[in-house]
């Protein structure tokens, strides 16, 4: 199978449109694993080893991470996903960082499950702006059985557009995971959030083992696993190491590893937690890259507060995936055109950024305005009420 990595380098002679790129490369992959590269893939990391990586001089750590990155990936390719909230707020869980929890007064407007046609419109926009993966998130503890036919149809429709599909719907049973896989879902996101030791300070309504069980159900179904965590939640250095160990010591590494910087939202219990030093965040990206060399490490929430230089440093540390779009579920994210400009400055995905013309940008903007106008006129019966019991 041809990989995205190969396409990124071979595209210099043929400038692909974003849509062309997607249709010929439905699944993002690292370089094929050779026996030499296999040595980098370990599942027996210890706390002492990982703490020693955190203690390395910064330049040495960056060099090591970049070396691993270049061995396993095209260093100038960054996979782009778009994330859409398909059901917002009113979540019964108590994740201390999350504005979507019904337990915290964050002023967030809750929304019912989005109608499939609206999801498809958003997916088409994402495809037009160069995203290769479309992620759909619902603020649920877990999908109920009566929700399943609806989300299964949603997956089928998005998949038919030639996009990679990803969902995050909370805990999944084995049967639910199989049903989503059969519908064409490529990835399921379920984060471990933090270390097993710190977890109880952040969430009390489900256990670490619940999360591991869901990841196992996803893995057993044959879907790709997307799992990472959040740093800057007041955890210790050992906790950051512990999170990476929990991920890297899974039987198979998650194919996608989102590393989030906490976005402090007023009204949540973590609103006033101390800021994490940005260099500690970059180190976390670099160490994730070293520990999970074949995984896409995603620079996720918190990117809006990072300047271009900080983001470039994260790419140097081995981050090779981002979310496009102005919103990450409910918190803001850099505008798509800012990302395109940054990619252009850094020579990332040059075949894609060249193809992303002003005309294409204008067309996407026009579609966005039209969509917003239509949404204002949307009657409420176009929404499926997922929060109703």
Q: Which of 112, 133, 166, 211 is catalytic?
A: 166
Q: Which is nearer to ligand SF4, 62 or 177 (CB)?
A: 177
For this structure, is 326 an active site residue?
no
Least separation in angstroms between residue 301's CB and ligand SF4 is 11
For this structure, is 91 an active site residue?
yes
Between CA 100 and CA 268 the distance in angstroms is: 9
Q: Which of 226, 240, 303, 314 is catalytic?
A: 226
For this structure, is 95 an active site residue?
yes
Q: Which of 122, 127, 133, 135 is catalytic?
A: 135
For this structure, is 133 an active site residue?
no
Least separation in angstroms between residue 139's CB and ligand SF4 is 4
For this structure, is 226 an active site residue?
yes
Tokens read off for 95: 């994740």
Q: Which is nearer to ligand SF4, 98 or 250 (CB)?
A: 98
Q: Which is nearer to ligand SF4, 91 or 192 (CB)?
A: 91
Q: Which is nearer to ligand SF4, 8 or 167 (CB)?
A: 167
For this structure, is 70 an active site residue?
no
Between CA 137 and CA 83 the distance in angstroms is: 7
Q: Are 47 and 241 in contact (CB under 8 A)?
A: yes
Q: Which is nearer to ligand SF4, 101 or 311 (CB)?
A: 101
Q: Which of 127, 133, 206, 298 is catalytic?
A: 298
Least separation in angstroms between residue 385's CB and ligand SF4 is 17
Q: Please state the φ and ψ torsions of residue 118, each to the nearest 5 degrees.
A: -70, -40
Q: Which is nearer to ligand SF4, 44 or 389 (CB)?
A: 389
Least separation in angstroms between residue 69's CB and ligand SF4 is 29
Least separation in angstroms between residue 363's CB and ligand SF4 is 33
Least separation in angstroms between residue 114's CB and ligand SF4 is 15
For this structure, is 298 an active site residue?
yes
Q: Which is nearer to ligand SF4, 87 or 283 (CB)?
A: 87
Least separation in angstroms between residue 199's CB and ligand SF4 is 12
- Binding region for ligand SF4 (CB under 6 A): 91, 93, 95, 98, 100-101, 139, 170
Burial of 59 (C-beta count, 10 Å sphere; 0-12/13-18/19+): exposed
* Residues known to be catalytic: 91, 95, 98, 135, 166, 226, 298
């Amino acid at each position: 199978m041809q990989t995205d990595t190969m396409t990124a380098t071979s595209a210099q002679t043929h400038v692909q449109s974003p849509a062309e790129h997607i249709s010929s490369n439905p699944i993002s992959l690292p370089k094929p694993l050779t026996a030499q590269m296999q040595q980098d893939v370990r599942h027996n990391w210890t706390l002492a080893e990982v703490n020693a990586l955190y203690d390395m001089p910064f330049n040495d750590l960056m060099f090591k991470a970049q070396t691993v990155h270049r061995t396993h990936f095209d260093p100038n390719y960054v996979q782009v996903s778009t994330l859409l909230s398909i059901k917002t707020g009113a979540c019964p869980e108590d994740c201390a960082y999350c504005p979507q929890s019904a337990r915290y007064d964050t002023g967030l407007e809750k929304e019912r499950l989005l109608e499939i046609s609206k999801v498809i419109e958003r997916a088409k926009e994402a495809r037009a702006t160069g995203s290769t993966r479309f992620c759909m998130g619902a603020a649920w503890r877990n999908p109920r059985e009566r929700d399943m036919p609806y989300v299964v149809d949603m997956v089928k429709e998005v998949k038919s557009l030639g996009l990679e599909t990803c969902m995050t719907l909370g805990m999944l049973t084995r049967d639910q995971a199989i049903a989503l896989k059969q519908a064409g879902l490529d990835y399921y996101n379920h984060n471990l959030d933090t270390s097993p030791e710190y977890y109880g300070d952040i969430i009390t309504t489900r256990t670490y083992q619940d999360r591991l069980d869901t990841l196992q159900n996803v893995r057993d179904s044959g879907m790709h696993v997307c799992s990472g965590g959040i740093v800057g939640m007041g955890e210790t250095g050992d906790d950051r190491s512990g999170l990476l160990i929990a991920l890297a010591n899974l039987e198979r590494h998650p194919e996608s590893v989102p590393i989030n910087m906490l976005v402090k939202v007023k009204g949540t219990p973590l609103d006033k937690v101390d800021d994490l030093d940005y260099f500690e965040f970059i180190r976390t990206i670099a160490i994730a890259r070293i520990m999970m060399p074949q995984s896409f490490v995603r620079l996720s929430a918190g990117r809006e507060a990072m300047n271009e230089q900080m983001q470039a440093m994260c790419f140097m540390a081995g981050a090779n995936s981002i979310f496009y779009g102005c919103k990450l579920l409910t918190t803001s994210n850099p505008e798509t055109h800012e990302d395109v400009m940054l990619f252009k400055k850094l020579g990332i995905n040059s075949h894609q950024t060249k193809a992303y013309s002003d005309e294409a940008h204008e067309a996407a903007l026009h579609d966005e305005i039209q969509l917003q106008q239509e949404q204002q006129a949307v009657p409420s019966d176009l929404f499926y009420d997922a929060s109703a019991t």
